[in-house]
Amino acid sequence: MKDEYLIVLDFLARGGVGEPIAQGIGEKYFNLLEVTLKQKVDFFERVYIGSGPRDKVGRIVRRLNYDQLTTLAKENLEKVLPQLIEKNEERFVKFFNLSGPITPKLHSLELLPGIGKKHLWQIVEERKNKPFQKLSEINERIKLLPDVKKMIAKRIIEELQGKDEYRLFVGNPQF
């Protein structure tokens, strides 16, 4: 899936393509991209990369994997993910309300760091009683559950690193 906006994680005045480049993460599908720049950008700036006219981005150079990010881009990724999760809160709440089994022995909720069988069944029972409306509500209703936003952020980074064959959030439009 293609992102319409990129959040700038790092920029280099003289990129490998001989012009200024930026590394960033797609706002919705979390694609890691390298783009050429028409003008200066700031860290964490939201820039348009869609198919229409672009004011700050020249072209998309390539899709990146996590290891191709600069050290600063990796650090900034950890800082920006909580805001992107909040911005897309409805998507993540939908995941908690609708996610199901992947295999007979593995539920998609168990792919989140910190969710084992006990929390899995608590979440499933709670959502049967009343669907979750906000991420904060999940933490309020499920006892001793680690911070939901941190779990999601950690899972996104794991997916970007290619640590798991299953994709819940990166480049996946299901939720």
The enclosing domain of 148 has a CATH number of 1.10.150.280
The predicted model gives 68-79 an average pLDDT of 97
52 lies in some domain: yes
In a domain, 77, yes or no: no
Q: Mean per-residue pLDDT for 155-159?
A: 95
Are 104 and 56 found together in one domain? no
139 and 105, same structural domain? yes
Domain boundary among 13, 37, 70: 70
Domain of 58 in residue numbering reads as 5-70
71 confidence band (pLDDT: 50, 70, 90): very high
* Region for 114 from its dihedrals, namely left if φ exceeds 0, alpha if ψ lies in -120 to 50, beta otherwise: left
The separation between the first and the last C-alpha atoms of the chain, rounded to the nearest angstrom, is 12
Residue 173 in any domain: the answer is no
What pTM value is reported for the model? 0.92
Average pLDDT over the chain, rounded to an integer: 94
One domain, residues 43 and 101: no
Does residue 134 surpass a pLDDT of 80? yes
* Structural domain count, the chain: 2
> Quick one: pLDDT band at residue 172, thresholds 50, 70, 90?
low
